[in-house]
Each structure stands twice: as structure tokens, then as C-alpha cells.
Amino acid sequence: MAIRVGITGIGLVTPVGNDTASTWNALREGRSGVAPIEGFDASRHDVRIAAEVKGFDPLEYLDRKEVRRTDRFIQFALAATRQAVRDSGLDIATMPDDVAVILGSGSGGLRVMEDQFHVLFDRGPDRISPFFIPMMTLDMAAGYVSMAYGARGPNFATVSACATSAHAIGEAYETIRRGDARAAIAGGTEAAITPMTVAAFASMHALSRRNGDPEHASRPFDAKRDGFVIGEGAGIVILEDLELARARGAHVYAEVIGYAATADAHHITEPAPGGEGLARALRRALKKAELAPERVDYINAHGTSTLFNDRDETAAIKAVFGDHARTLAVSSTKSMTGHLMGAAGGLEIAATALALRDGVLPPTINYEHPDPACDLDYVPNSARQADIRVALSNSMGFGGHNAVVILSKPEG
């Protein structure tokens, strides 16, 4: 009999809240987390806005020595994991060999890397921190989490740009399904709002330049969108063998019923024409879930607020869902959180699970000017009550990475 997998815990650190409850309340209320950059002096930058995590104190989760020895992306991961583990009630100490940690980041410790470059050039190579490598490398969030909880199952980091944490959650799901673990800590973390990163994305003309109106800068599917808003944070979920979860009386937010990943093999930044790669991932995920397209009620879109992504994601949805594309709801929570890049999928899969639990569709805010190429129901500007039973989350990444995770209300 196939192993079924559920989400039993959620932990979030985001630009609109430093825990799950505050984040979900903000998404339901349509509040933007985009504001002028405060983490560094951005006065010389063409782009001076971002979706920063606000008021985060790592000392609530780590001691002072650990804070000095960890980059912000690791701190976010440890904070969100603590929330998720507490929420799930999973006692990892009783089953350490059966708990996987699959947790990715698109960029890793960029902040410490930039700081250490200054140390190298200003003070010399012998002043580089001995903790630089473990603070910087992408896998160390997964490593720290594993050590913090004694989780000795499969442990690795996924890296696929903005599809990173969707891949992490999908691969964790498959790890449990094939019997290599009974539970998993999965998701993503990112802390890439740094001078170099903002300048680099601005140089690519990928970022919105609405410096004077930051709350309206992220506007997925809107005809006047002019780029994404860089964000930061972490989205972590606890995945669990449903048999185990129900035996211990755990609350189950949603069941994971399908996952697929594909590559565009087309371009380093632009999606394949018509969203062809995402369309293949959608079809494959539906097939693996043994689900007719008409059964899907809601899509949490990748929806970055960039010209090509929003257009091609819309085309992919229409290609796969046909006439049903006109009746299902599609929204982008990036309109409120900005783009958490490697952590985006973790946050958005969590938001999809919460939408299923509460029967509430988070809105696409700042949707004011319809785009003829983007003509679906994007749940514009206000949340909506809806009796949804099946929902999915799309993720797409630079390099042509696509991932789709399908969730349903837990049954049976």
C-alpha cells in the first residue's frame, strides 16, 4: 500500500510576519511587506526597496555564540524550524534515524561573503573568519537543523534558484513515500538582500523600480508590472507519514498528493515560450496524483511580477487546464511578500496548506490594470472565502527549473 504524506507543522519567518499566525493574518488582510531598504545604505542604488524581515531577533532562537557564527539565512532556518517542530508536536528524539532534513537556499550566506571580501581586501587574508565557510555554504542550514534536532535521516540541500524549496518539499515527500524516512523537515531559507545582490538584479533589469511607492511595487499579472521585489525569510514544513501522524493524534494541515519537476532547457532567465516547461510539470504532477485537472480548485502561482514569468505561467495554466482555467482561482502571495527566491516555495506551499485549512484564498494585491495576456481569476486585491479541496503551488527558477506540489484536504 502506498505511503501517504501529510503536512503536520508549519514555521514561517517572512517580510509580513515572524511566525505562521502573523504571516497568515497579513496575507489574508492583503498587507504588503515591501518598504525602503533598511539593512544597508541603498542611497546610491537604482533600486532602494525590498521585502525585508522586520524585527527579527535571532537571540530568541540561538545563544550569542551561535548568532556570531551563523549567517542570517541559517538563523531564519533555525527559527522557522523550531516553530514547525513545535507546531507538529513531533518527538524527533524517539525516531532520529527516521527524520530527514531537506532544506535549500538559492544563495546561501551572501551577506557574510560580502563582509569577508571587505576583510580580505582591507585587512588581509589572515583576518578572514575561520567560520566563513560554514556560514556561507548552501548546505549549512540543513546541517545546522539536523544537528539541532538530532535528525539522522537523509540530509541535503536543494539548489534550484527560485524553485529551491518547492524541490526540497517535493523530494522530502518522495523520500517518505519510498520508505527512506517517516518524517522530514523541509523547505527553504534566504537572506540575500545585500548591496551586491540588489545591484546585480537591478543591473539585469529584473527588479521593480517603484522606489517612491514600495507597497505597490509587487504587482503580479498587472499590465504595469515592472519587475519583482527581492525578499527574504524562511518557509519550513514538517512532512510526515500519515499513518504515523494519525497514530499520535497530530493535526494534519493538508495531504501532499502530487509532485513533479521539469526543466525548460531554454534560457538562463526567461521561461520556455508559453510556459511549456511548467505545463509539463503540471501535467506530470496531476498524472502522478491520479487527478483530473478539473479537481483543482486553487493555484498559488509563482507570479513574480515580471513580464515574461506572469505571461508564460498564465499560458501554462490555460494549456493544462483548458476551460477549467477560467473557473479555478489563481493568486500570487508574492504581491505581499515580495520574492523570497530560494525560500519562496516553502512559504507558498505553507500558504496553500493554510488556504485549504481555512477555506480562504489569499489575494493578489495591486492588481489594477488587466493585462490581455494575463486573463485568469487572480483573486484581485481582497481575500476570498472558498470551499477548496485541492490546491497546488507552482515554482519556477532561473536556469529553467520548474516544480509543482499538489495538496488536498486530509481525508480518510
Is 254 a member of any domain? no
Confidence at residue 178, expressed as pLDDT on a 0 to 100 scale = 97
Is 176 a member of any domain? yes
Confidence at residue 163, expressed as pLDDT on a 0 to 100 scale = 98
- Catalytic site residue from 45, 167, 267, 302: 302
Instruction: Report the C-alpha gap between 277 and 275 in whole angstroms.
Output: 6
Q: What is the pTM of this model?
A: 0.97
Is 86 a member of any domain? yes
Nearest CA to 345 out of 300, 391, 378 is that of: 300
Is 253 a member of any domain? no
Same domain as 323, residue 243: no
Same domain as 334, residue 223: no
Place of cell 527581492: 230
Instruction: Report the C-alpha gap between 350 and 411 in whole angstroms.
Output: 18
Same domain as 373, residue 234: no
Helix (H) or strand (E) holding 292: none
Is 381 a member of any domain? yes
Same domain as 281, residue 212: no
Same domain as 277, residue 236: no
Is 306 a member of any domain? yes
Q: Within the chain, what is the greatest distance between any pair of CA atoms?
A: 64
Is 252 a member of any domain? no
**319-328 per-position pLDDT tens digit:** 999 999 999 9
Q: Residue 142 phi/psi, 5° resolution?
A: -65, -40
Confidence at residue 411, expressed as pLDDT on a 0 to 100 scale = 81
Among 247, 270, 300, identify where a domain stops: 247
| DSSP code, position 108 | -
Confidence at residue 293, expressed as pLDDT on a 0 to 100 scale = 98
Same domain as 189, residue 48: yes
Confidence at residue 21, expressed as pLDDT on a 0 to 100 scale = 98
Domain containing residue 47: 5-247
Cβ atoms 159, 55 nearer than 8 A: no
**114-163 per-position pLDDT tens digit:** 999 999 999 999 999 999 999 999 999 999 999 999 999 999 999 999 99
Active site residue 266: no
- Catalytic site residue from 162, 167, 374, 401: 162
Domain CATH code at residue 303: 3.40.47.10
Confidence at residue 272, expressed as pLDDT on a 0 to 100 scale = 94
Is 156 a member of any domain? yes
Same domain as 316, residue 177: no
Same domain as 89, residue 16: yes
Instruction: Report the C-alpha gap between 160 and 167 in whole angstroms.
Output: 8
Same domain as 326, residue 197: no
Same domain as 30, residue 134: yes
Q: Output the nine-digit C-alpha cell for 404.
A: 509543482
Confidence at residue 1, expressed as pLDDT on a 0 to 100 scale = 73
- Catalytic site residue from 118, 251, 266, 339: 339
Active site residue 324: no
Among 196, 221, 247, identify where a domain stops: 247
Stretches where the chain sits below pLDDT 70 are: 412
Instruction: Report the C-alpha gap between 83 and 77 in whole angstroms.
Output: 10
Instruction: Report the C-alpha gap between 361 and 358 in whole angstroms.
Output: 9
- Structural domain total, the chain: 2
Confidence at residue 412, expressed as pLDDT on a 0 to 100 scale = 59
Same domain as 283, residue 175: no
Among 247, 269, 291, identify where a domain stops: 247
Same domain as 392, residue 284: yes
